[in-house]
Amino acid sequence: MSEFRLTQISDTHLGRRFPGLIANFHRVSEHIDANRPDLVVNTGDVSFDGPTSRDDVEFAKSLHAALPVDCRYIPGNHDIGDNPTAIGPAPKPRVTEAHRQQFRDLVGEDHWSFEAAGWRFIGLNSLVMNSGLAFEAEQFDWLAAEIARANGKPVALFIHKPLFLNRPDDPELPETSIRYVPQPARTRLIEMFGNVDLRLIASGHVHQRRDFSFRHMRHVWAPSAGFKINDARQDRIALKETGLVEYRFSRDSLEVRHVRAAGQLDIDIEEVLAQLAGEC
């Protein structure tokens, strides 16, 4: 394959009780149907609240299963729970093996690797890092083997949480510690890729669209496909809008296109929270 076209969606947050988020996903689905990439990757928070609602996970997968192209997934904190950090309050709910297995059973593998168009693609479950779960060590061992298989090829990494804000040595702050891959796992991950031609790190989680380079690595934050978070609730780092990201890979080259699906709305988190409150 001389060229590989991949569409990244993220933070779909699907559940039957959120018609606005469902409508946004349908607009994204129509866009994907019209463009027919080779693969779709959802970089996490596929469901609205997997740890408390198995139905959210089942419903989210049913909508993705209707997509006209193959799809791969990695879990987000809303799918399997969050990972502990070195500072700040313990996240709730904390990631568990039971919820990881639920994701794998209902949605698909939570980590994966494949080759296309001269690239090595790797998807990682970033939520188990610093968790102490047995799978955390298993995934790092698996990753070491996959990195060795890259054999000089450029690598594209897909994770839910961005590695860092601006630099690997950014200080961890209590108020933002759950936003990025936490220390010390972050340092270990960066060191593992130290001798690899890692060119792309594609993530989600923050609900802001951002695209920047650090050294030779391009960092792309996909926006949420579902909703945005207003400035009163979250500091503004980049562009707050709903949308998706399209990539075109060919041997030794990468094109990135930031797009919105026709009819996709910038639903505010307040609307989503109001629907939740109405259930109580």
Question: For residue 7, what are the β-bridge partners?
Answer: 40, 246
Between residues 174 and 266, which one has the greater pLDDT?
A: 266
Rounded to whole angstroms, the Cα distance separating 103 from 157 reads: 20
pLDDT of residue 279: 64
Confirm if 139 and 125 have CB atoms less than 8 A apart.
Answer: yes
pLDDT above 80 (res 81)? yes
Question: For residue 213, what are the β-bridge partners?
Answer: 218
Q: What is the mean pLDDT of residues 204-228?
A: 97
Q: What is the mean pLDDT of residues 131-153?
A: 95
Share of the chain above pLDDT 90, in %: 86
pLDDT above 60 (res 142)? yes
pLDDT of residue 176: 80
pTM of the entire structure?
Answer: 0.96
pLDDT of residue 144: 96
Convert the pLDDT of each residue in 145-177 to its tens digit.
Answer: 999 999 899 999 999 999 999 999 888 787 788
Name the token pair of 272: 């989503």
Q: What is the mean pLDDT of residues 204-211?
A: 98
pLDDT of residue 87: 83
Task: Name the pLDDT band for 1 (thresholds 50, 70, 90).
Answer: low
Residue with tokens 């050294």: 215
pLDDT of residue 171: 82
Burial class (CB in 10 A: 0-12, 13-18, 19+), 280: exposed
Q: Measure the CA dihedral 24/28/31/35, to 10°.
A: 180
Confirm if 105 and 77 have CB atoms less than 8 A apart.
Answer: no
Query: Measuring CA to CA, which residue among 203, 205, 248, 201 is closest to residue 221?
Result: 203
For the 3-279 domain, the top CATH level (class) is: alpha beta
Q: What is the mean pLDDT of residues 9-31?
A: 97
The enclosing H or E element of 78 equals: helix 77-80
Q: How many CA atoms lie within 13 A of 156 on its CB side?
A: 27
Q: What is the mean pLDDT of residues 252-270?
A: 96
SS3 114: strand
Convert the pLDDT of each residue in 32-77 to its tens digit.
Answer: 999 999 999 999 999 999 999 999 999 999 999 999 999 999 999 9
pLDDT above 60 (res 280)? no
